Chain A
Amino acid sequence: MSAPTTPGTQTSTAPAPRPPEVQRVRASRRHQIERRSLRILRWVVIIGLLIVTLLPFYYMVLLSLRPIEALLRNPSSLIIPPAEFTLSSYQQVLASTAAGGQGFGRFIANSAVVAVSAVIISLIVAVPGAYAIARLPFFGHRQVNALFLAAYLFPAIVMAIPLFVLFTRVGLRGSLVGLILVYIAQTVPVAIYMLRNYLDTVPVAVEEAGLVDGLTRIGVLRRISLPLVMPSIMATGLFIFMIAWNEFLFALLFLVERRESWTVSLGLSQLSGSAEIPTTVLMAGSVVLTLPILILFFSTERLLTGGLTAGAEKG
């Protein structure tokens, strides 16, 4: 419950003992001014931030639907005249290189394979791991937990050098399999952290009831806890998908020499340096890269944000 602090409700919900005259004297002129300017400021902030957050995305879609000549003729236009509307940028960016396009169709397939494999394998590994951390008192519990947190927070650039060397040596650099392995390692700690928070919400008593009824721990996990947190597991999976789909550094280090294995992120970043490809076509590529993520995110938003910020409520 957020505090009811609108001016109208304030006076009406304030405790009765003091007569209203005293209240009014206390709510001095300064308060009135503050309250009014804050009410205006609040909308200034909201509208200002809305413009700042939405405009780049609107601009992205806008450019992807206009021909490049129209953009160069009139760069500051924020509307598309119906005569200029075209989907040719999308055709061009998605078509294979053999057909004169940029081959984003292939990149999408690569990204999808990598991201989906990372999701499936990460979840298979992380669900039991998270359950063990959430519920089972094994030896070294605290150390393992701290290790995972450190691995989650450890940034990619520090890991990049040794993994680059390692994967070159075992011959996995340049293959999607190598990339999937790296993504699994990058996402398992996050997945464990999120899943642990979700699994913590299952009442211990429910699980104990299962144990008393003769289930083993694995049985409890499979028949009681997992069904209860299934939506959260889906949300975690989608989060892993987003990480893998958006990832850039390892894709760059591992795959840059092989265009046929590029992911969408890598493809867009590589091609955006080239002067021959019109900006409008690359904007269509950006939309193609961004849209799946936004759809996934907003279909599971509540669950995702809840899992990420769990614990922040404690203060």
Chain B
Amino acid sequence: MSALPLRPPRRRTLSQRDARTGIALMSPTLVIVLAVVVVPLLWSILIAFQQLKLLEIGTANPLRSLTLANFERVFASGRLWASLGTTLVYTAGSVLLSIGIGLLAAMAVRRPFRGRNFVRAAFLLPYVAPVVAVTFVWRTMLNPQFGIVNEVGQSTFGWADPIPFLSEAQRTVEFLGAQFPIPTALLTAIAFEGWRYFPFAFLFLMARLEALSSESEEAALVDGASPLQTFRYIILPQLMPVIALLAVLRTIWTFNEFDDIFLLTGGAAGTGVASVRVYEFLTVQRNVGAAAAQSLVLAVVLVLMLAVYMFMMRRRGERL
């Protein structure tokens, strides 16, 4: 490379020079991502196989002996499977709900009307606002003592007692003569996720809807399709790829969601999802090794979903 002739054939050198410039421009980013994402991740795998307590992290030798004790600890108690089960229900519920509401919202504001921009902006609020602020407002609104939801529920809908939405693990609901146990706090958390993340689905679906060509819809109309048939057979199939993408993306993020659950319920009342358990291992039990092992279990699930996501993006022809 150093022996480049002074006036080489122009095309080759341009792409060669470009390649060099590319690496030069690229490297700061690469260094940061390697230093603060990749290396810690690898180190985390190491820690998962070591006995490491919170008090020792400043002094311990990073290359101390390896052990499987952390995994035994994480897997041994039935709580891992319980928390993974909770996480699964929480994730599936949240993803379905947020995409469902997002689809409804996108279809509802599809055609222009007066005030559409305002409505659009209002729909984005839950997603944009800081998570700490919105969880605090939800907690206040659902508060059994002075929250507005229980107040209105008691005065208007005739609830006998206030419902402790965020601190009650289970309640029995009578419906059509049968009794159903429902997980109150978990459902509330799922409702919160649906509320907070429907704007995300809404944005993506709106972008896709705006790009749809009107021809096939007009053809369906001429052929006598009803509006619902048009939606079912013309619009929905064209939205399906985006919906699938959204589902994978939201699953990746919700499965590992920490902030929302932690701030709403603290992981109590049957909402102890796996990520909250990582935090508990770290701060309550002060066992860094076990926390790393638990987060590794999460990471494995995550990597599988990432692979699905990248596969889907490739099929869509994204450059990856």
Chain A to chain B: the 6 pairs with minimum beta-carbon distance, closest first: A136-B22, A138-B22, A185-B36, A162-B40, A129-B29, A155-B256
Chain A contacts of B256 at CB under 8 A? Answer: 155-158
Interface residues of B in 226-284 (CB under 8 A from A): 226-228, 230, 238-239, 241-242, 245, 249, 252-253, 256-259, 263, 275, 278-279, 282
CA distance A289 to B128 in the complex (A): 12
Q: Does residue B110 face the partner (Cβ distance < 8 Å to A)?
A: yes
Interface residues on B, range: 35 or more
Q: Which of B14, B35, B110, B228 has a CB less than 8 Å from the CB of A34? A: B228
Chain B contacts of A75 at CB under 8 A? Answer: 146-148, 151
11 cross-chain CB contacts under 8 A = A5-B111, A49-B104, A53-B122, A53-B123, A57-B137, A75-B148, A128-B29, A132-B26, A136-B21, A166-B40, A283-B140
Check B257 against A137 for contact (C-beta < 8 Å): no
Check B123 against A49 for contact (C-beta < 8 Å): yes
Chain A contacts of B122 at CB under 8 A? Answer: 50, 53-54
Chain B contacts of A138 at CB under 8 A? Answer: 18-20, 22-23, 26
Q: Does residue B15 face the partner (Cβ distance < 8 Å to A)?
A: yes
Check B108 against A45 for contact (C-beta < 8 Å): yes
Check B36 against A181 for contact (C-beta < 8 Å): yes
Q: Which of B108, B129, B258 has a CB less than 8 Å from the CB of A157? A: B258
Chain B contacts of A163 at CB under 8 A? Answer: 36, 40
Q: Which of A31, A38, A164, A289 has a CB less than 8 Å from the CB of B133? A: A289
Dominant SS among interface residues on chain A: helix
Of B75-83, B164-172, B182-190, B214-222, the one with at least 4 CB within 8 A of chain A: B214-222
CA distance A50 to B126 in the complex (A): 11
Interface residues of A in 286-315 (CB under 8 A from B): 286-287, 289-290, 293-294, 297-298, 301, 305, 308-309, 311-315
Closest chain-B Cβ to A123's Cβ sits at a distance in Å of 11
Q: Does residue A176 face the partner (Cβ distance < 8 Å to B)?
A: no
Residue of B nearest to A292 (CB): B130
Q: Does residue A242 face the partner (Cβ distance < 8 Å to B)?
A: yes
Closest chain-A Cβ to B274's Cβ sits at a distance in Å of 9
Given the interface contacts A246-B130, A286-B136, does A31 sit within 8 Å of B25 by beta carbon? no
Q: Does residue B299 face the partner (Cβ distance < 8 Å to A)?
A: yes
Q: Which of B15, B23, B47, B249 has a CB less than 8 Å from the CB of A162? A: B47
Closest chain-B Cβ to A14's Cβ sits at a distance in Å of 6
Q: Does residue B96 face the partner (Cβ distance < 8 Å to A)?
A: no
Q: Does residue A258 face the partner (Cβ distance < 8 Å to B)?
A: no
**A-contact bits for B126-154, CB 8 A (1 contact / 0 none):** 10111111101111110000111001100
Q: Does residue B84 face the partner (Cβ distance < 8 Å to A)?
A: no
Given the interface contacts A139-B23, A290-B133, does A42 sit within 8 Å of B29 by beta carbon? no
Check A279 against B140 for contact (C-beta < 8 Å): yes
Given the interface contacts A165-B288, A315-B208, does A137 sit within 8 Å of B18 by beta carbon? yes
CA distance A27 to B224 in the complex (A): 6
Check A169 against B207 for contact (C-beta < 8 Å): no
Given the interface contacts A156-B258, A248-B259, A283-B140, does A217 sit within 8 Å of B18 by beta carbon? yes
Check A42 against B108 for contact (C-beta < 8 Å): yes
Check B147 against A56 for contact (C-beta < 8 Å): no
Chain B contacts of A209 at CB under 8 A? Answer: none
Q: Does residue A87 face the partner (Cβ distance < 8 Å to B)?
A: no
Chain B contacts of A254 at CB under 8 A? Answer: none
Chain B contacts of A141 at CB under 8 A? Answer: 22
Check B129 against A305 for contact (C-beta < 8 Å): no
CA distance A76 to B141 in the complex (A): 10
Check B137 against A6 for contact (C-beta < 8 Å): no
Residue of B nearest to A282 (CB): B136
Check A286 against B109 for contact (C-beta < 8 Å): no
Check B33 against A132 for contact (C-beta < 8 Å): no
Closest chain-A Cβ to B37's Cβ sits at a distance in Å of 5
Check A146 against B29 for contact (C-beta < 8 Å): no
Q: Which of B58, B119, B131 has a CB less than 8 Å from the CB of A248? A: B131
Chain B contacts of A153 at CB under 8 A? Answer: 249, 252-253, 306, 309
Of B1-9, B173-181, B312-320, the one with at least 4 CB within 8 A of chain A: B312-320
Q: Does residue A249 face the partner (Cβ distance < 8 Å to B)?
A: yes
Q: Does residue A98 face the partner (Cβ distance < 8 Å to B)?
A: no
Closest chain-B Cβ to A17's Cβ sits at a distance in Å of 10
Residue of A nearest to B104 (CB): A45
